[in-house]
Amino acid sequence: MAPRTNSFTQIVLDPLLHSSHPDKLELNNLVPLQTEMVRGGLSILTASIFLAGEMAGSGVLALPYAILGTGWTGLFLIVFFTINSLFTGTRLGLCWTMLEDRYDEFKGEIRDPYPAIGEKAFGKIGRIVSLICICITLYGGGCVFIVLISQLLSGVMAAANVHLTICVWMVVTAAVLTPLTWFGTPKDFWPIAVGALVTTVTACVLIMVNVSLESQQLEKVEYPPASAHGFFQAFGSIMFAFAGASTFPTIQADMKDRGQFKYAAIIAILILFVIYFPMAAVGYFSLGSLVEDNIVLSMTDGWEKVTVEVMLLLHLVTAFPIITNPPAQMFEEILGLPTTFNIRRCIFRSASVFFLLFVAESIPSFGAILNLVGGSTVTLLTFVFPPLFYMRIADATIGVKGVQERKIPMWERIYCWFLIIVGIAGGCLATYNAVLSIVDSDFSTPCYINSNVTVSGGGH
């Protein structure tokens, strides 16, 4: 067997391989790994930086607008999701620990950790559903990125006196991004992980300073009344901001001590809270009803806005081929395409970007796509599956010889079912509201019917 590497990049981006894939590890090849520790793997701090850097992205820009539909009480919704993300993230980590204790293959390299956990919990159906949700989440994120990059590019180029509609900028964006998806993945994630976190934090600080100064120029800040429709749209938006659960097992798989993952997850979620809460509060209280679904669009023109747009553009352009790579490789495996660089891969991935462009042009709204993905698959991956898989895997350890039993206390079991019920109910309603927003009002005219569509809000 080839020497193991501990690159997080290889695991997350090489990714959702079918069991018949030549790179898939066979059970008999894993025997030498039974007592192997992950040497040179991620530390707790490094893993927490990866988690926070991957999760902090486009979702934070929608938080002030999300609060617009709930009123100031929406800030408690962010606290609620933070606490529950802490719990579900650590439960997902415990799933891995229990499986590593029971199955030899979990002591080696797992290329598709989340689906693998789903399979051990609910068989093939658990793997398939997990794969589908991950693909929809990542491709949905790709659509969000195309719209958001186009909005940011429009702002930067407007400063250079170049004016095109958002529909045209999306075509330009797709053309630029397509070649980036053809090639292999980066060999080192450090610049991306650290850079993503640093650029996001810096951009958020500049945004908060800018909108705070802008609010001083307003005679009066108006706040629309809260509504049930706004609440469930906020549910989807905030869930999208925590859309990192599908990468949790991936990062845990590359840690020096996988049993310490819970500490990395806690640190990462707390970092996100420190970013998310003030961003939502400052944006909402400073601008009120004037806030856009992408708060960058609410900033006054100047060097701060251009700086924010450039920083976010660099992050998003780099991240786009990364988030669309796992589902692309999964479909390439299904279609039997070679794993090496070849013309068929280029054609398939170009077609994939064209499909994402078609979706983005059909729903030319950052907020609408974000709410739809956040309310559906992200809710399942972050809120529903972790406690469900955890209870199933923990219960399966009872009475098994040679396996440490994991008896779930009653309070924890009740809390797990509470999260599952809230996740399913809230996710269904949030998805329903997102679909209504897409078919109603601003979203009824796709770009290819009216190319002069302006940047649209989320429709609270």
Q: How many Å apart are CA 94 and CA 74, to the nearest integer?
A: 30
DSSP symbol at 397? T
Instruction: State the amino acid at position 438 in one-letter form.
Output: I
**Residues 227-254: tens digit of each pLDDT:** 887 888 788 888 878 877 667 777 777 7
Query: pLDDT class for 52, splitting at 50, 70, 90?
Result: confident
Inter-CA distances, 120 with 76, 324, 377, 390, 392, Å:
35, 26, 20, 11, 9
Q: Is the pLDDT of residue 186 over 80?
A: no
pLDDT (0 to 100) of residue 9: 34
Query: pLDDT class for 191, splitting at 50, 70, 90?
Result: low
pLDDT (0 to 100) of residue 457: 42
Q: Is the pLDDT of residue 418 over 80?
A: yes
Query: pLDDT class for 27, splitting at 50, 70, 90?
Result: very low
Phi, psi angles (nearest 5°) of residue 11? -70, -45
- The answer for 40, left when phi > 0, alpha when psi is -120 to 50, beta otherwise, is left
Q: How many Å apart are CA 214 and CA 299, to the nearest integer?
A: 8
pLDDT (0 to 100) of residue 161: 82
pLDDT (0 to 100) of residue 444: 54
The whole-number average pLDDT for the span 37-43 is: 58
DSSP symbol at 56? S
Distance separating the N- and C-terminal Cα atoms of the chain = 56
Q: Is the pLDDT of residue 25 over 50?
A: no
The whole-number average pLDDT for the span 366-387 is: 82
pLDDT (0 to 100) of residue 262: 84
Q: When comparing pLDDT for 447 and 133, which is higher?
A: 133
Contacts of 213 by beta carbon, 8 Å cutoff, 6+ apart = 300
Inter-CA distances, 422 with 226, 235, 273, 380, 428, Å:
20, 11, 21, 11, 10
For the chain, domains (ranges, CATH) are 38-444 (1.20.1740.10)
Q: How many Å apart are CA 244 and CA 246, to the nearest integer?
A: 5
The whole-number average pLDDT for the span 91-118 is: 82
